[in-house]
Amino acid sequence: MKTAKQTKTRSKKAGLPPGTLVHIGEKKAESVRITVIDYDQQNFQESQVANIEDCFPFKATPTVTWINIDGLHDTSIIEKLGKHFDLHPLILEDILHTAQRPKCEDYDNYIFVVIRMLSFGDENEVIKSEQVSLILGANFVISFQEKVGDVFEQIRDRIRNAKGRVRKMGPDYLMYALLDAVVDGYFGILEKLGENIEAMAEELVSEPTQKTLQQIHSLKRQMISLRKSVWPLRELIGGLQRSESSLIKQDTNIYLRDVYDHTIQVIDTVESFRDTVSGMLDIYLSSISNRMNAVMKVLTIIATIFIPLTFIAGIYGMNFKYMPELEWRWGYGLVLIVMMMVVVIMLIYFKRKKWL
Amino acid sequence: MKTAKQTKTRSKKAGLPPGTLVHIGEKKAESVRITVIDYDQQNFQESQVANIEDCFPFKATPTVTWINIDGLHDTSIIEKLGKHFDLHPLILEDILHTAQRPKCEDYDNYIFVVIRMLSFGDENEVIKSEQVSLILGANFVISFQEKVGDVFEQIRDRIRNAKGRVRKMGPDYLMYALLDAVVDGYFGILEKLGENIEAMAEELVSEPTQKTLQQIHSLKRQMISLRKSVWPLRELIGGLQRSESSLIKQDTNIYLRDVYDHTIQVIDTVESFRDTVSGMLDIYLSSISNRMNAVMKVLTIIATIFIPLTFIAGIYGMNFKYMPELEWRWGYGLVLIVMMMVVVIMLIYFKRKKWL
Amino acid sequence: MKTAKQTKTRSKKAGLPPGTLVHIGEKKAESVRITVIDYDQQNFQESQVANIEDCFPFKATPTVTWINIDGLHDTSIIEKLGKHFDLHPLILEDILHTAQRPKCEDYDNYIFVVIRMLSFGDENEVIKSEQVSLILGANFVISFQEKVGDVFEQIRDRIRNAKGRVRKMGPDYLMYALLDAVVDGYFGILEKLGENIEAMAEELVSEPTQKTLQQIHSLKRQMISLRKSVWPLRELIGGLQRSESSLIKQDTNIYLRDVYDHTIQVIDTVESFRDTVSGMLDIYLSSISNRMNAVMKVLTIIATIFIPLTFIAGIYGMNFKYMPELEWRWGYGLVLIVMMMVVVIMLIYFKRKKWL
Amino acid sequence: MKTAKQTKTRSKKAGLPPGTLVHIGEKKAESVRITVIDYDQQNFQESQVANIEDCFPFKATPTVTWINIDGLHDTSIIEKLGKHFDLHPLILEDILHTAQRPKCEDYDNYIFVVIRMLSFGDENEVIKSEQVSLILGANFVISFQEKVGDVFEQIRDRIRNAKGRVRKMGPDYLMYALLDAVVDGYFGILEKLGENIEAMAEELVSEPTQKTLQQIHSLKRQMISLRKSVWPLRELIGGLQRSESSLIKQDTNIYLRDVYDHTIQVIDTVESFRDTVSGMLDIYLSSISNRMNAVMKVLTIIATIFIPLTFIAGIYGMNFKYMPELEWRWGYGLVLIVMMMVVVIMLIYFKRKKWL
Amino acid sequence: MKTAKQTKTRSKKAGLPPGTLVHIGEKKAESVRITVIDYDQQNFQESQVANIEDCFPFKATPTVTWINIDGLHDTSIIEKLGKHFDLHPLILEDILHTAQRPKCEDYDNYIFVVIRMLSFGDENEVIKSEQVSLILGANFVISFQEKVGDVFEQIRDRIRNAKGRVRKMGPDYLMYALLDAVVDGYFGILEKLGENIEAMAEELVSEPTQKTLQQIHSLKRQMISLRKSVWPLRELIGGLQRSESSLIKQDTNIYLRDVYDHTIQVIDTVESFRDTVSGMLDIYLSSISNRMNAVMKVLTIIATIFIPLTFIAGIYGMNFKYMPELEWRWGYGLVLIVMMMVVVIMLIYFKRKKWL
């Protein structure tokens, strides 16, 4: 269970003073990769820097700067960055504790947002969750990811090629685009889940086993984990929309409303998946009952036909001296006929009861 | 499952810049049909236009203009319309992504509404859902549908023949009338569903099978899909009522309250259908148990009667040299009488237990 | 199912312009009966009028006038009344569509209230629901019922005989009295339901059948229907209390609070009935399991006793040439004793298992 | 069922004008007992009066007066009191209808509170509920109880002996003390319920019967009844705290917050009892299944061992002329050995399946 | 059940005047231990005092003072402290009644907070809960614990060694640190619970017994108890954040927001544990059904194979004089072959039904 693991790592840090920078969470990346994209409507510049200090000059320029950091285990980088950009120690702590709930915090001169980027693992059975922390400042966005690889590649393309309006707008629009990309990623997850549910539903009808039940519950758990990423997002984006921070322009607000709508759609879909899966549970349980019923019927039919027959055979197996039937010429034949009639009557009875 | 399909198409578009016009959803119509109805209290004019540009002059006239577009796959039409009527790119995107949740968005000089028009498919078993997008401007209403065929024919008749008050009132009343027609359509769906539920309830009593269970769950899913169309509608109309937009007159507000009431009635009915269907599930499960009980009783009665009899016959089938009863003249007759008595006693016992 | 029927009639009207006066619902009365009661502290006058026009003069008098109309199928009467008293077309429509949800609408110079009057049918098994529409004006109350016969007789008596304070107070108090009478009627319904539940509970313990389950669900449905009448009432009366309309005096407000309390009591009782009925479902299901258990035990006891005995008899029914026991003088007797011992051991075992 | 009875008596009164004084509820007391306690910091006086008129002088004195009335069937007393203390007729009605929901009503010069005092009946199985109505005026508290006997004795002692701060404070503190005593009484009820639940839990493990199920449901019903007394109390006390009435001093408010906390504790405990009892239901149902399983296993073991053996015996019971085994010297012994082997194999099989 | 015990002790006190100081709860400590830590940025002093009076001088100093009291049974100490620090009697009462719900009360010159510190007992199976009461004054924090031993040791270390910012900040930060330590402690509890759940889940798959069910319910109860400590905490900290008391500085508020986030995380985890445990219940119940199914299948297979065989043997065990087969040379062999064929047919049938 993922949750158990998260709390496990979480408790390692219990008792340290708040703001202590310890990376809590799996170490998912080998080395830290820092990328800087700097642009305005005319200019564009992209570079990978070796030292975090190389990013600092961009803070002063009027152009929009997007600093992306992949890999969190080197806390000194986070610390230096925090110092230069004047970030609150608790924010740095939250960036490093990668089991945060999605949230949005409004500080005076920047907005801090935590979201969760989801992906299916290689086995395609477990949803993997990666924490993405975003800081929106006056003319920069800083993003922190646990490891290389994300859903932002198309945004980078749009910036590079000046597609769409991203180059014409400010850092708030960039942050919106990042949020939008993450939420769009959820639709892919839902698609996979939907396929799994359909496959499950067919298996359920054709041949349900105890394993099916466990898969249903695994599906349920995946949806719970999805919900945990999505529900707070709704609040988060609603909060951004209502925020009175001057960092978010009126124009961008309309776009945030659009992400909000998508979030609601994701939630709706998850909820209706939940209903479907609950229905599958009912079907599973009732199909177990039905199979028990079928087993019982076979037993009952066999027993009900042969037990009386065996009894009749038993009668004429008795050794009484004076049993007139035994002496009859056609006694044996008559008994066989009687037995046949018993069988026919039974079969008619079962036919009527619709057991056959 | 419909939802799975929707998210599937949805994810195709992930990563494109917002406002990119791509038609997402099934292509349901062969060609785009554009109809314009223009009227005021005295005049009426209805025409089908070939090019979207032919509608543009109506924007300037003081009369009420209703532009209806059936078919969304030709994005250039939507784009030109959007440009001329000055619609926000996100609205155009929402019109083209036909898996929107019903919603209402208030822009400065127009109101954008998305609702879902429902109909039963030919097989009468699946509820089909079509997205209808409405734009209410100062003196026009633009409606977008996925394909030809809608529930608005009677409104067109009322406009043509100046029945009711529609010709005396503004575009806000027209939009109300469209919303009202869609909600009125839901009552027809509910009627069908109600009939299906009644049929199911009878089948449940007469002869429940595993298939019945699947039908119950299919009913449940249909109601979930209905709910997804109706619940947001409540909010939507409530939002329109409370809206401070000057586009909606005080007079029309009273009519919106009426649609609101109908929405609540639809929701109430759906909820009570849900309760009924849940009750059917209980009845189904308990009837399975009851049948198992019946099977068990037959087995038990047969076994309980014949097993002791067979034992008695077994006794006198033994080959002991010294078994006095075997020599008796009436031994065989006596044993038969004893057996008969056992049967009678058993039957009395079962009678008392009310198994017969 | 009542709900199905209501939506059926409702959809007949789909597409007509709003405010079209069509009576939707069962025609429950043969002819329309119009009664006028006019009173103030000193005077009292009661008459049955043939034409609706005869009521019109009362609009102008300062006395309190109560116009009661039984039977809704003659829409012309409603129309004339509506015109004279200046009622909004949607109100007239709501009066005629007798599947309204209880609601309260505040127009400028009158308040419109819809409630549902409940009664048990003759078979005492189904709750019948009749829509009562009330209009409270400056000095009149107009009430619309679907058919003759109501719970207001005692109010008429109080007015006739100047009992209580009704003659001293205005039309708002009269409307309160009508609401109060309807809510008081619910207590009678609850009483009946309570008796049915008690009867059911006894049947459940003594002899539960599949029919019991259906009765439980019928009870459940009745409570759902009751709830649908009562829940909105709470809102409705709360709305009246908070209303800023000058039509409701401060004095009457205290009385409305009293009705509100009664409504809450009705809701509380319905909810606790629901809990009781849910508990009955559990008991029913577990009693089915218990009976299956009992059946199984009988089978097991019989089979477990006789199968070994039959086996022993079978042994000595074999035809081996050399079976020394068969030759023994007391072989037969010994075998019978062994069999008896097997029976005793089995019975002790069952005793210990508490199966006997 | 208590609820059914209450609504029964309630409906007797349907249709009477509001404010009609009829005692509705069981008559629990033989005669009415009126007690007056009058005190301030220095003085104390306690007396039992025969006529209600003897209480009236106390209304004028500046000292705190507590008038307690046990027994409600003599409506004339309530009426006189109401007239003298200027109480609203609806309040008198509520006092006499002893099935009120706990509530608090703020009139201009007094506050009216209804609460429910609970106690276990003699059989210790059913919770009895008695309505206590309190009226808090400028310098008096009037309390109405259905019969003699209450949880207020310790408050009287504190007043008599000037213990605690009750003598130093006003009537609002006295009312707080009464409320507090009633809520404290609930803890005793919870204790009893807790013991019953523990006893039930043990019985459930050792020997569950159909009766156990009914007891579980009786427990559930008791908790529902407790809830109905406690939930509204929360609202009630919250209302008193927020009340802007000058009758409640700031000092007393802190004490009310304390009662509020206790109420929440009672609710919490009731809710966790409910969870426990629901868990007991699960255990009960699964233990029925387990026992069925055990019965089935015994049957299966016996049948599975003896049916093959009986078949073998049947083989050698056949009367074929040419059956070589029958002639063998050790045929009988061999067959017995084969049978023994079959038994051993079966037992090993069952051992592996963990059925033994 | 813990809850039962708490209410038991609670009711002992029923009827005493509010503010009476009686220690209610288990006596967990032998003697009372009082520790004083006094510090500012430069100075630090820690001492264990014998008499409570020795703490009093610290009230006047401008340094931050943390008075910690372990053991509550000596009410005189609490009383003296209360008098000197001017605490409301109800607060002292709440400190001594160790079954409080977590809460926060804002008095004029101090804030009173009750929280619950959790730990696993030695058997590692039951969550133990200890009440911690905190009083935050202008320059002091007083903490009350039921016994020696807490989760605050690391805070003491940080104060002693001037680690982190605790020495630079005021008493509000100290109180935050205490709250944070308690909430951090919950993560440890969650970790343990998570491990127990995982162990349970494995046991459930490998070998579920009736005991497993009881363990599932014990887990459920532990989570309910955890919830009862955590849910109110959320409200509590939210209350502190929104509090307008000057005792809490703006700077500390950001830290409180952090604790708030942790609380939400704990709640989320508890809720997802609940879902997991509910799923385990489903799996348990269905595995019981499955095992019953397996038992039934064995019985049915054995009975269905041997009952017909026994019947055939019975036929040729009959003693009719004229049974031609008995005389046949290969009659016996033929019968054996027929029997073998019956077995083969049966086995094929079972194979098809997938029972083997």
pLDDT for residue E319 is more than 90? no
Report the run of H or E that residue D106 belongs to, with start and end: strand D103-106
What's the pLDDT band for B2 if we cut at 50, 70, 90? very low
Neighbour count for residue D86 (Cβ, 10 Å): 12
Per-residue tokens: C125: 């098994």
| Shortest Cα distance, chain E CAs vs residue D93, angstroms | 30
What is the structure's pLDDT at D144? 95
Average pLDDT along chain D: 86
State CA E306 to chain mean position distance.
Answer: 55
What is the structure's pLDDT at D137? 93
Which chain C residues touch B299 with a CB distance below 8 Å?
299
What is the structure's pLDDT at D155? 92
What is the structure's pLDDT at E124? 60
What is the structure's pLDDT at D9? 55
Overall average pLDDT of the E175-198 stretch: 90
Overall average pLDDT of the D116-128 stretch: 79
Per-residue tokens: C109: 């110079």
Neighbour count for residue D169 (Cβ, 10 Å): 18
Residue to mutate among C167, C272, C325, C355, with most D CBs inside 10 A, is: C272
Per-position DSSP letters for C325-336, written without gaps between them: HHH-SSHHHHHH
Taken as a whole, chain C contains a residue count of 356
pLDDT for residue D20 is more than 90? no
Which chain B residues touch C295 with a CB distance below 8 Å?
293, 296-297, 300, 355
What's the pLDDT band for D4 if we cut at 50, 70, 90? very low
End-to-end CA distance of chain D: 46
Overall average pLDDT of the E167-172 stretch: 92
Of A18, A313, A328, the CB nearest to E315: A313
pLDDT for residue E4 is more than 90? no
What's the pLDDT band for D15 if we cut at 50, 70, 90? low
Q: What angle do CA A284, A290, A291 make, to 5 degrees?
A: 95
pLDDT tens, residue by residue, D135-156: 999 999 999 999 888 889 989 9
Calpha distance A269→A271 (Å, rounded) = 5
Of D289, D298, D310, the CB nearest to C314: D310
Q: Residue B22 carries which DSSP code?
A: -
What is the structure's pLDDT at D2? 44
What is the structure's pLDDT at B271? 87
Tell me the percentage of chain A whose pLDDT exceeds 90. Answer: 35
Overall average pLDDT of the D101-105 stretch: 91
Of E191, E320, E355, the CB nearest to A332: E320
Overall average pLDDT of the B284-311 stretch: 85
What's the pLDDT band for A272 if we cut at 50, 70, 90? confident
- Name the residue with higher pLDDT: C20 or C261: C261
| Shortest Cα distance, chain C CAs vs residue B18, angstroms | 38
What's the pLDDT band for A68 if we cut at 50, 70, 90? very high
Tell me the percentage of chain E whose pLDDT exceeds 90. Answer: 35
As a whole number of Å, the CA-based R_g of chain E is: 34
pLDDT for residue A325 is more than 90? no
Determine, for residues E15 and D321 on separate chains, whether the beta-carbon distance falls below 8 Å: no
What's the pLDDT band for A3 if we cut at 50, 70, 90? very low
pTM, to two decimals: 0.82
Which chain B residues touch A190 with a CB distance below 8 Å?
4, 7, 11
pLDDT tens, residue by residue, A115-132: 999 988 766 677 888 999
pLDDT tens, residue by residue, A195-208: 888 888 888 877 77
Calpha distance E309→E302 (Å, rounded) = 11
Least confident of A256-265, B102-111, C119-128, D13-22: D13-22
What's the pLDDT band for B140 if we cut at 50, 70, 90? very high
What is the structure's pLDDT at C1? 38
Overall average pLDDT of the D73-101 stretch: 90
Neighbour count for residue A118 (Cβ, 10 Å): 21
Determine, for residues D101 and C268 on separate chains, whether the beta-carbon distance falls below 8 Å: yes
Determine, for residues A7 and E187 on separate chains, whether the beta-carbon distance falls below 8 Å: yes
Which chain C residues touch B198 with a CB distance below 8 Å?
1, 4
Least confident of B336-345, C71-80, E118-127, E229-238: E118-127
What is the structure's pLDDT at B102? 92
Overall average pLDDT of the D53-61 stretch: 87
CB contacts < 8 A, D to E, total 180
**Residue E100 near residue D261, CB atoms below 8 Å:** yes
- Name the residue with higher pLDDT: D6 or B169: B169
Average pLDDT along chain B: 86
What's the pLDDT band for A25 if we cut at 50, 70, 90? confident
Determine, for residues D220 and C158 on separate chains, whether the beta-carbon distance falls below 8 Å: no
What is the structure's pLDDT at E175? 94
Calpha distance A92→B290 (Å, rounded) = 63
pLDDT for residue B6 is more than 60? no
What is the structure's pLDDT at B3? 44
pLDDT for residue A180 is more than 90? yes
What does each C-alpha distance from A220 to A4, A139, C251 come to in angstroms? 17, 42, 56
Per-position DSSP letters for B291-310, written without gaps between them: HHHHHHHHHHHHHHHHHHHH
The residue type of A217 is H
**Residue A23 near residue A72, CB atoms below 8 Å:** yes
Of C207, C292, C329, the CB nearest to B296: C292
The chain B residue lying nearest C316, using CA atoms, is B318
The chain B residue lying nearest C89, using CA atoms, is B255
Calpha distance E200→E221 (Å, rounded) = 15
Calpha distance A252→A261 (Å, rounded) = 14
Q: In sequence order, which ranges of chain A are alpha helices (DSSP H)?
A: 2-12, 75-85, 89-96, 153-160, 171-206, 210-242, 250-315, 324-327, 331-352
Determine, for residues E317 and A318 on separate chains, whether the beta-carbon distance falls below 8 Å: no
pLDDT tens, residue by residue, B9-28: 555 566 677 777 777 777 77
Tell me the percentage of chain B whose pLDDT exceeds 70. Answer: 95
| Shortest Cα distance, chain C CAs vs residue D110, angstroms | 14
pLDDT tens, residue by residue, A282-300: 888 888 888 888 888 888 8
Of A195, A255, A322, the CB nearest to B332: A322
Determine, for residues A316 and E319 on separate chains, whether the beta-carbon distance falls below 8 Å: yes
What's the pLDDT band for A9 if we cut at 50, 70, 90? low
Of A19, A220, A285, the CB nearest to E279: A220
Overall average pLDDT of the D61-79 stretch: 91
Tell me the percentage of chain C whose pLDDT exceeds 90. Answer: 36
Per-residue tokens: B227: 């709910």
pLDDT tens, residue by residue, E193-216: 888 888 888 888 777 777 888 888
pLDDT tens, residue by residue, A206-237: 777 778 888 888 888 888 878 888 889 988 99
| Shortest Cα distance, chain B CAs vs residue C353, angstroms | 20
Calpha distance C163→B96 (Å, rounded) = 68
Of A5, A101, A285, the CB nearest to E264: A101
| CA neighbor of C299 nearest in space, from D280, A304, D103, D58 | A304
Contacts 24+ apart (CB under 8 A), A105-108: A105/E257, A106/A239, A106/A243, A106/A245
State CA B348 to chain mean position distance.
Answer: 54
User: φ and ψ at E39, to 5 degrees?
Assistant: -155, 155
What is the structure's pLDDT at D11? 58
Calpha distance C194→D3 (Å, rounded) = 8
Calpha distance A295→C349 (Å, rounded) = 28
| Shortest Cα distance, chain E CAs vs residue A168, angstroms | 35
pLDDT tens, residue by residue, D212-246: 888 888 888 888 878 888 889 988 999 898 888 88
Determine, for residues E4 and D198 on separate chains, whether the beta-carbon distance falls below 8 Å: yes
Average pLDDT along chain A: 86
Which chain A residues touch E289 with a CB distance below 8 Å?
285, 288-289, 292
Overall average pLDDT of the C210-226 stretch: 82
User: φ and ψ at D2, to 5 degrees?
Assistant: -65, -45
Q: Which residue has the tokens 């006929």?
A: A337
Which chain B residues touch C17 with a CB distance below 8 Å?
158, 163-166, 177
- Name the residue with higher pLDDT: A101 or A1: A101
User: φ and ψ at A119, to 5 degrees?
Assistant: -155, 155
**Residue A197 near residue B1, CB atoms below 8 Å:** yes
Overall average pLDDT of the C43-61 stretch: 89
